């Protein structure tokens, strides 16, 4: 009946479905949630597009991906500049001259570099083997202690010396006064929200919501020649080799009867005592204005609480440490034997993918398999 059954209407599934449809393939997209767009789903509350499954800021160096998303949405000029709150001391993120000045009183870039080098030497780090050592090698012990350790251990629920170094390399370190969190040529938030952008990708494609693939796998598989599966790879195999570990996030959303709660889209609480990792104030992704450019009188905030994932909860972040990477490699062998199924996306490939990388990977798959 269908050439492709796409399981999951997040970015990977929606981009692939869109490309397959363009090539004249018959596509059915299913999703177990009552809505499309996976974790980029946004919902309008009090005139504000609320990122209900965590804040998503689109950023990329891939020109073709930027052009691709701009076909489905207009992007605003939002630049992510989070603030770190350490017991009421505020620091600029990512780590840049404003951060170093506040931390050490240094003014010149070379003074900051010297301070980092001195702390790195003192810690005796030559070849960083884990996140803790990598962080100290990049920014020194003071910043590690105040801005990284507490946040990271809350976020991942594991000590920094047991986490892979690559996680902290996501953050730029700059000896300039540049507060842009990302080293990306292109950045912004889709005007009107991500849900609308994904809806545009899925225009003309049949979508069925509230359909659980794994519960009805045998029947659903019969519907299509090929299946693109974007759910968790270990769930697909009924955890037969053991469960991969994920971090989950719980959001406490609040509508406040005030115009400005924290003056910024993201404030990270980097101490170890505050139970949440960060607070997102969604209106600032769109500069606090409604569709007509008027100031919004209310605000919506989300506190994020990170926890270990348990069956039945939403998995958000794969824990790409040694143990899980080994287990994933075994699942990958099984996945490659499933001739009818293609695994993709953050959960299907157990990879800490950013949105642009997910889109790029779906486009590459489309190029490879669609004729």
* Residue 367 designated active-site: no
In the list 39, 99, 152, 361, the residue contacting ligand UDP (rule: CB under 6 A) is 152
* Residue 3 designated active-site: no
In the list 151, 194, 309, 353, the residue contacting ligand UDP (rule: CB under 6 A) is 151
Determine, following the binding rule CB under 6 A, whether residue 250 of this chain makes contact with ligand UDP: no
Spatial CB neighbours of 267, under 8 Å, sequence gap ≥ 6: 82, 83, 84, 85, 278, 279, 281
Residue 159 CB, nearest distance to ligand UDP (Å)? 12
Q: Is 237 exposed, middle or buried (0-12, 13-18, 19+ CB in 10 A)?
A: middle
Determine, following the binding rule CB under 6 A, whether residue 347 of this chain makes contact with ligand UDP: no
186, 245, 269, 278: the active-site residue: 278
Q: Which stretch binds ligand UDP (CB under 6 A): 22-30, 120-128, 149-157, 295-303?
A: 149-157
In the list 268, 274, 299, 361, the residue contacting ligand UDP (rule: CB under 6 A) is 268
Q: Which stretch binds ligand UDP (CB under 6 A): 118-126, 143-151, 203-211, 236-244?
A: 143-151
Beta bridge partners of 228: 6, 342
Residue 108 CB, nearest distance to ligand UDP (Å)? 25
Beta bridge partners of 5: 28, 227
DSSP 5-74: EEE--SHHHHHHHHHHHHTT--EEEE-SSSSSSGGG-EEEETTEEEETTS---EEES-HHHHHHHHHH--
Determine, following the binding rule CB under 6 A, whether residue 365 of this chain makes contact with ligand UDP: no
Distance from the Cα of residue 352 to its chain's centroid: 8
Determine, following the binding rule CB under 6 A, whether residue 182 of this chain makes contact with ligand UDP: no
* Residue 170 designated active-site: yes
Determine, following the binding rule CB under 6 A, whether residue 165 of this chain makes contact with ligand UDP: no
In the list 81, 85, 92, 155, the residue contacting ligand UDP (rule: CB under 6 A) is 155
**What does the block give as tokens for 368?**
């490879």
Q: Residue 49: phi, psi to the nearest 5?
A: -80, 105
Distance CA 231, CA 346 (A): 8
* Residue 354 designated active-site: yes
Determine, following the binding rule CB under 6 A, whether residue 211 of this chain makes contact with ligand UDP: no
* Residue 110 designated active-site: no
Determine, following the binding rule CB under 6 A, whether residue 184 of this chain makes contact with ligand UDP: no
Residue 164 CB, nearest distance to ligand UDP (Å)? 10
In the list 5, 27, 65, 147, the residue contacting ligand UDP (rule: CB under 6 A) is 147
**What does the block give as tokens for 29?**
């997209």
Residue 121 CB, nearest distance to ligand UDP (Å)? 22
How many other CB atoms are there within 10 angstroms of residue 306's CB atom?
20
Distances (CA, A) of 298 to 30, 80, 257, 348: 35, 22, 5, 38
Distance CA 152, CA 158 (A): 8
**What does the binding site for ligand UDP look like in residue numbers (CB under 6 A)?**
84, 93, 147-148, 151-152, 155, 167-168, 170-171, 268, 270
Catalytically active residues are 170, 174, 247, 278, 304, 352, 354
């Amino acid at each position: 009946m269908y050439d492709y059954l796409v399981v999951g209407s997040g970015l990977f599934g929606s981009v692939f479905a869109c490309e397959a449809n363009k090539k004249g393939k018959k596509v059915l997209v299913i999703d177990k949630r009552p809505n499309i767009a996976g974790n980029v789903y946004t919902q309008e509350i009090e005139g504000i597009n609320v990122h209900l499954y965590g804040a998503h800021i689109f950023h990329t160096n891939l020109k073709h991906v930027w052009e691709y998303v701009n076909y489905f949405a207009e992007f605003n000029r939002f630049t992510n500049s989070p603030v770190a709150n350490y017991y009421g001391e505020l620091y600029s993120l990512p780590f840049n001259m404003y951060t170093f000045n506040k931390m050490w009183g240094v003014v010149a870039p070379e003074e900051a570099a010297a301070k980092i080098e001195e702390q790195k030497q003192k810690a005796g780090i030559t070849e960083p083997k884990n996140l803790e050592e990598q962080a100290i090698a990049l920014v020194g012990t003071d910043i590690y202690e105040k801005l990284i350790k507490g946040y990271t251990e809350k976020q991942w629920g594991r000590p920094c010396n047991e986490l892979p170094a690559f996680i902290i390399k996501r953050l730029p370190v700059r000896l300039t006064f540049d507060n842009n969190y990302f080293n990306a040529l292109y950045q912004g938030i889709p005007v009107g929200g991500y849900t609308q952008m994904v809806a545009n990708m899925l225009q003309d494609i049949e979508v069925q919501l509230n359909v659980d693939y794994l519960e009805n796998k045998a029947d659903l598989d019969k519907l299509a020649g090929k299946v693109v599966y974007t759910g968790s790879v270990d769930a697909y195999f009924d955890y037969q080799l053991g469960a991969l570990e994920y971090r989950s996030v719980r959001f406490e959303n609040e509508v406040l009867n005030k115009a400005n709660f924290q003056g910024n889209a993201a404030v990270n609480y980097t101490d170890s005592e505050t139970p949440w990792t960060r607070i997102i104030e969604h209106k600032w992704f769109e500069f606090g204005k409604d569709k007509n450019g008027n100031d919004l009188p209310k605000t919506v905030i989300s506190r994020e609480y990170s926890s270990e994932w348990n069956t039945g909860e939403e998995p958000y972040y794969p824990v790409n440490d040694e143990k899980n990477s080994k287990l994933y490699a075994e699942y990958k062998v099984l996945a490659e034997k499933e001739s009818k199924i293609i695994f993709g996306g953050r959960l299907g490939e157990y990879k800490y993918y950013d949105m642009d990388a997910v889109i790029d990977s779906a486009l590459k798959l489309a190029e490879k398999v669609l004729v």
